[in-house]
Structure 1
């Protein structure tokens, strides 16, 4: 056999890109997002997109601790406040109007949740980093004012993370599901009976059907409808009014979209991803009352900047009680 006749592999399709799509995901309805707003010329780990009742955007950057305010419609960016706690990872608005900030602490055992008013003042500990060992990454409220939060601990063979429920009076913390390898994103269905959780270091999507108490899992109610592939894994997520789930893929520069049963139905790619840019996509969120999705990412791996991107989803964002 001559050298020229030796069987050889050749790059086809996007196999030679920085983050190739899997064959079954290449067939999904796919769009590429537009640039929407530059947050910084530096690579900041943007997270925690949350719109307040004035329609303005609040977001944080994890490693530096800044919480930003984006005034709409002119998109003027200002720093709202600096987190007193280490590594803030999410900002959510409670029904009383306060901002609840999740923080990871030292990524081992010193995370928690605190609340501040709309100006970032009057700090109150909600889940104490002194009394607990969680690394809190994200939360989602229910209509009663209680909330579910994710514990961002562990790794692939040491599943120390989980999801917990805090009652509306913030007096009790109840486990919902445990033994997860870095529980990350969390979303609640429009009827508040299905909880979605992304497990980053095991590359899994969890769909959890809850009984009326919001804590007990229905018989056979916890399942894994989707296994992700590639580095690094699923991050934060949100739903639209049709109960479709939008999951940011960290390290992959895209958002995968699932229907209410966990079947993939579409994806949104960030510009530059094939060349290895803007891969740190962390969080999608809808502008209230619209089908316009905002996605945050940064290009710190290439000494690049930090951006928000936009695309339209399948339906309008879920108009939860928080915006009434």
Structure 2
């Protein structure tokens, strides 16, 4: 038999793509975001997009520790916190205007949570590093308490978890345990569903909550979606229709799910087919609009660090931090 007669596998354009879309996701409604603002010519691990009442944007870089403010509509970038070793990972704004900063510390046991004023001054410790958490993300409820993810573990050592902190910041209650690097977290518009992305297990968790915000009813915690590919789901946010937007790290895209956890769309970043801008970490809506900002960096690709823009299915949900 001639070798040319033997059945052979062949590369196609889709297969050669460094981040090919799954067959089950390829037919989702798909759009490509547009460049919105370059933050740096260097590859900074951008995270923590958060808008204030005036629609100015705060964000940070994890490994260098800097916190930036982008004043809109002029898009003027200023640095409100200089380089440090705190490894910040997320920013949320308390209803009193303070910025709450999640800190990963040494990524093992020295993270915590601190608050600063919008100009970067008056640092206050909310949860000290002595508690041993590596806090990656958080979300407020209307009472002033908040949920946070403890960014620990790996695929075969699920030591991370999700916790709730009371409005007086004195009590910490476990919500989910035994997770492999829980990352992004979002709360539904009625506060009865908590979403968590579990990066190192490639899972999306949907957790129903009782009225107390802590108790899970029978059969209330589920995994509606398993992701595929390296590295996994990162930060997330919801819109006013309770759709969930999940950034996929090292995949250059955002997957969108309905309130039941069924995928209904995706937003791609330009250049991903050539292996560029794959480090998509966080989506956030410009308040009062359906315009979604997504941050990413190009790693060793030379493209720097950028914010991208696209439109979601609905307007973004204003966080409780904007309530008086």
Q: How many residues align?
A: 323
Q: Secondary structure at the match of 2:200?
A: helix
**1:94-135 Cα deviation digits (max 9, x unpaired):** 1111100001000110001001111111111111102x1111
Contact 1:85–1:103 under 8 Å retained in 2: no
After superposition, where does 1:272-311 map in structure 2 within 5 Å?
272-311=271-310
C-alpha distance in structure 1 between counterparts of 2:231 and 2:320, whole Å: 33
Q: After superposition, what is the alpha-carbon deviation per residue over 1:200-248, rounded to whole angstroms, capped at 9, x for unaligned? A: 0000000000001111111100000000000000000000000000000
Give the CA deviation at 1:55.
Answer: 1.0
3-state SS in 2 of match to 1:77:
strand
Corresponding position of 2:162:
163
Q: Which residue of 1 aligns with 2:243?
A: 244
Alignment map for 1:54-73 (pairs within 5 Å): 54-73=54-73
2:34 matched to which residue of 1? Answer: 34
How far does the alpha carbon of each residue in 1:273-307 deviate from its partner, in whole angstroms, 9 at most, with x for none? Answer: 01110000000000000000000000123233000
Determine the structure 2 residue equivalent to 1:216: 215
Question: Please, which runs of 5 or more residues in structure 1 have no aligned partner?
Answer: none
Q: CA RMSD in A?
A: 1.0
Whether the 8 Å CA contact 2:252–2:269 is kept in 1: the answer is: yes
Quote the Cα distance in structure 2 between the aligned partners of 1:159 and 1:228: 17
Q: Which runs of 4+ in 1 moved over 3 A?
A: none
> Relative to 1, partners in 2 of residues 1:86 and 1:321: Cα closer, same or farther, differing over 3 Å?
closer
Cα distance in 1 between the residues matched to 2:149 and 2:255 = 20
Instruction: Decide whether the 8 Å contact of 2:66 with 2:84 is kept in 1.
Output: no
> TM-score w.r.t. structure 2 length?
0.98
Shift of 1:15: 1.2
User: Structure 2: which 5+ residue stretches go unaligned?
Assistant: none
